[in-house]
Amino acid sequence: MTQVFKAEPYDLPFEPEHTALIIIDMQRDFLEPGGFGAMLGNDVSLLRSAIGPCKAVLDAARRAGIFVLHTREGHSTDLSDCPPTKVARGGLKTGIGAQGPMGRILVRGEPGHDIIPELYPIAGEPIIDKPGKGAFYATDLELKLRNRGIKTLIVCGVTTEVCVHTTVREANDRGFECVVVSDATGSYFPEFQRIGLEQIKAQGGIFGWVAPSSAIVAALA
Ligand code: C5J
């Protein structure tokens, strides 16, 4: 049955059976001290306000039987799937692959690479391990969504202007309709958070829709 997300720039109709929640990169490496985000000089506490709203949407999606997927940005232990340019970027002393307080930075299997405990996946919720910023690049995400007949994506996670934006742009070009959950996304830069959300919904929803977690939870109830 068709339902509606109260969203901007206008309401978005959706069918729960053709809708998925995708939670982008809510990893310790981005949200906790000592990870990749902190090594880049960011104040990780700025992202933590997204955890509560993200959990509210996750709980609502689970109750409604919506397909849930999680993503993690990171690389294999030998970094063979990481462009050397990505390792070199920023000239960091403790960059990708280096030992940090939560293990090797952005390396699969390390504590820092994993999803924060508050939002930990449960059985039946695929985890997409992605080497890039976009969740479609070099992953089987599109296959998994098409096999389930998914048309609409509820998008939460971090960071708004990097992995959330890249994923939404990739999804939009593939014909998926994305609603980005404003308070369940986060950026290390408040102005990027505001502008990143504006960019999604500008020009009649050039990349998609934006709605607060309260509107998503209400629509899924
Ligand atoms: C970044 C991400 N910011 N998940 N990754 O490097 O947005």
Q: Has residue 87 got a pLDDT over 90?
A: yes
User: CA 44 to CA 52: how far, in whole Å?
Assistant: 15
- Return the pLDDT at 56: 98
Burial level of 111, CB count in 10 A (0-12/13-18/19+)? middle
Measured distance CA(19)–CA(175) in Å, rounded: 13
Q: Which residue has the CA at smallest separation from atom 5 of ligand 1?
A: 163
Question: What pLDDT score was predicted for residue 92?
Answer: 87
Is residue 209 within 8 Å of residue 178, measured between CB atoms? yes
Domains and CATH numbers, the chain: 3-67+106-220 (3.40.50.850)
pTM (2 d.p.): 0.98
pLDDT digits (tens, 9 = 90+) for 10-50: 999 999 999 999 999 999 999 999 888 988 899 999 999 99
Tell me whether residue 130 is one of the annotated catalytic residues.
Answer: yes
Q: How far is the CA of 152 from the centre of ligand 1 (A)?
A: 23
* Ligand 1 binding pocket mutation candidate from 30, 42, 85, 193 (most atoms within 8 A of CB): 30
Nearest CA to ligand 1 atom 4: 163
Interval 135-156: pLDDT, tens: 999 999 999 999 999 999 999 9
